[in-house]
Structure 1
Amino acid sequence: MRVRTAVKDPGTYRDLRWLAAHLLYGWLLAYASLIVWIFGILVDGVWCWVLGHRAVVLPLLGRLADLDAAWSRSLLDLSPDARRSAELADRVEELTATRAGAMAAHGAELRRIERDLHDGTQARLVALSMRVGLARRAYDNSPDTARKLLDDAQDQVEEALTELRHVVRGIHPPILTDRGLVGAVRALAAGSGLEVEVTDDGVEGGARAPAAVEAAAYFSVAEALTNAAKHSGSRRARVELLRTPGSLRISVCDEGCGGADESGGSGLLGMRRRIAALDGIVQVSSPVGGPTAIEVELPCVW
């Protein structure tokens, strides 16, 4: 497999071309350098040491080294067309990987929504329908029983609505539309159970980011604060929102024990996939002993 990859790699042929050419001009430059060394010692030795003048011959060695580097660069370097093709191939490979990650994250999100609806809201609605049916049957013979059943049904309606709102917030939080990103993040901070300091540099009050960018930023902060509250052991955290000409940057730091690991299928992996789908970057620094710092940068046209 490795041999096949090496044979198909265009860089292999450039290396072979350089090796063949260097066997020719490399020896010539080596002999020329030897002659310059000998001639320089004989001539410049007298010229510099005896007469006190600057060396004339020995600097030619630097010229020969520059010539060797220029020829090697011309043989090994990609042509402009080849460079563009290589960059395009790398970009296609990157987009393929991010698309696969985005599809995996999307599928996981759909399964979560389906599970929440099936196990939560749907089950409550079925129980509600049964209680309303029992109340209708008991209405004529036992009004008190019917009233109690209707009271229970009312409670189940409220619980079902609460769970349905929770599912909707997991798709696109309405608070983002109402308050914007900064207000939504402050609401997250208030409900996180931590002492969270939220700082804003140019995000609030200006043109809003696209909805997809705001949603990705919101869920990134939510995931980071949830992890900090559950695993860090710290009671304090800091969230920074920064607006730059071409991006939105988010930083979430806590003072906890660190040791965050993405390999265990944690929410950090889902965050990375969500950000990568928008050509964003996630950097996680969480050494054992802390602190944990999560940096997110999302491309954004304001």
Structure 2
Amino acid sequence: MRQALRNAGRASLYLLTGAGLSVACYVMAGLVLAGAVGTALVLGAGMLPETVRALRALAGFERRRSGTWAGAAIPENYLPLDHGTLWARVRAAGTDPGTYRDLRWLGAQLVCGLVLWYVSLVLWPLALLTDGIWCGVAGRPALLLPQIVRLASLEARLSRTLLLPSRSERLAERVAELSATRAGAVAAHGAELRRIERDLHDGAQAHLVALSMRIGLARRAYGQDGEAARKLLDDAQDQAEEALAGLRHVVRGIHPPVLTDRGLAGAVRALAAGSALEVTVTVAGLTDGPEDGTRAPAAVEAAAYFVVAEALSNAARHSGAERAWVELTRSAGLLRIRVRDEGRGGAAESGGTGLPGVRRRVAALDGSVELSSPAGGPTVLEATLPGVW
């Protein structure tokens, strides 16, 4: 009975908010009518875009309210109203399918919000009397109090149905998102190729050229000056080792061998051990073994590794912090990475931080990156990567 009362109380608060929203909808309906009349008379055409903007704000509040109640966000999809001439903005406001969705919801909310609230007011005294006897005497579950919760759920479902963009609009938005992601992936791929080319040209190639020259000089000195030939061969060996070190550096930049040997969890622990900060690593759902069935795809592991590496590098160079925390969590087919430090904050995706590259690398795998770094800290970088396990 107590739990039923708590649930019904939450539902009543939700319905009361909906009733207040219905009153606001009456005001908004008047503004929409005034904007339409003003547009028809031409002199008041500037009212329409601003009225539609206010309507979007009201519908946005309902999206958040209903999404919170139902536990599922309601996406929005609108044409921009901030670009072009006045008539372009009027045309965008008048032809946007999102405007008609909002108007459809506005008309329904005018009636339903108040009606459902009044029904809940009628149910409360009946529920207290009936359920009080039914639960207190017979020891049975409440009968009428859950109906108040169902009224709130009905209002939330109605709002979702009316405000949710059509399937074609969601597909178009997804196509646009994937197009932008693909462009970012192409840019990231091009930047990576240029980096590899630069590393090979400035590192391994230069060492190999020097190695070839020293071997040629040693060959010419061989038989004439054995000591000089031996020194040249020693230099050539040093050049060969430097060339190998350069090639290993390039290979680590493409796919760190530690990922193959120890898995993501072990590789991140190795990063933490080599960091200038004191780093605490927490892992859930992943292990160090290379062949244990909990491994993410290689591309996902590489992206996660570079997210952690870049975040720890930035924290060591810019934050002034002494400690950092890394969390790796696998759940529901997703890999979540969270890197936090208690430094000075103020991190931004500029100034050579490497964060734009991190965002492009994650977006190429259809993942997301969120950065929170207020002045004074803490700085928290969170990335979510889809995976197939």
Q: Shared fold (TM-score greater than 0.5)?
A: yes
| AA at the equivalent of 1:194 | L
| 1:218 alignment partner, one of 302, 305, 317 | 305
- Taking a change above 3 Å as real, the CA distance of residues 150 and 300 of structure 1, as seen in their structure-2 partners, is same
Could you give the per-residue CA deviations for residues 87-143 of structure 1, whole angstroms, max 9, x where no partner exists? 101111111111111111111111111111111111111111111111111111111
State how far apart, in whole Å, the 2-side matches of 1:257 and 1:7 are: 47
Find out whether 1:158 has 2:245 as its counterpart.
Answer: no
CA distance in 2 between counterparts of 1:298 and 1:125 reads 39
Q: Name the aligned partner's letter for residue 122 of structure 1.
A: Q
The code of the aligned residue for 1:242 comes to: T
Is structure 2 residue 214 aligned with structure 1 residue 107?
no
Structure 2 residue corresponding to 1:188, chosen from 264, 271, 288: 271
Give the Å deviation of 1:184.
0.6
The one-letter amino acid paired with 1:183 is G
C-alpha RMSD of matched pairs (Å): 2.7
Spell out, residue by residue over 1:18-49, the C-alpha distance to the aligned partner (whole angstroms, 9 max, x if none): 99x99xxx9xx9xxxxxxxxxxxxxxxxxxxx
CA distance in 2, matches of 1:166, 1:95: 32
Separation of aligned partners in 2, 1:235 and 1:161: 34
Distance 2:323 2:377 in 1: 13
Work out which of the residue numbers 298, 316, 328 in structure 2 matches 1:229.
316
Aligned equivalents of 1:195, 1:280: Cα separation in 2: 28
One-letter identity of the residue aligned with 1:121: A
Matched residue type, 2:208: L
1:255 aligns with 2:342: yes
Conserved? CA contact 2:105–2:162, under 8 Å: no
AA in 2 matched with 1:184: A
Return 197-206 or 140-149, whichever deviates more. Answer: 197-206
Tell whether the 8 Å contact from 2:339 to 2:380 is kept in structure 1 after alignment.
yes
C-alpha contact (below 8 Å) 2:325/2:339 kept by paired residues = yes
Partner of 2:326: 239
Q: Does 1:92 align with 2:196?
A: no
Q: What's the TM-score, normalizing by structure 1?
A: 0.76
Aligned to 2:365: 278
Partner of 1:295: helix, strand, or coil? strand
Matched, 1:294 2:381: yes
The one-letter amino acid paired with 2:381 is: I
Q: What CA distance in whole angstroms lies between the structure 2 residues aligned with 1:171 and 1:18?
A: 51
Matching residue of 1:209: 296
CA-to-partner distance for each residue in 1:33-67, whole Å, 9 max, x for gaps? xxxxxxxxxxxxxxxxxxxxxxxxxxxxxxxxxxx
**Deviation (angstroms), 1:234:** 1.6
Structure 1's unaligned 5+ residue stretches are 30-69
Distance 2:320 2:286 in 1: 30
Distance 2:228 2:99 in 1: 85
| Structure 1 counterpart of 2:203, from 120, 125, 133 | 120
SS of residue paired to 2:247: helix
User: Residue in 1 aligned with 2:250?
Assistant: 167
SS of the equivalent of 2:365 reads coil
Q: State the 1:237 CA deviation.
A: 1.1
- Aligned to 1:198, the other structure's residue is in SS state strand
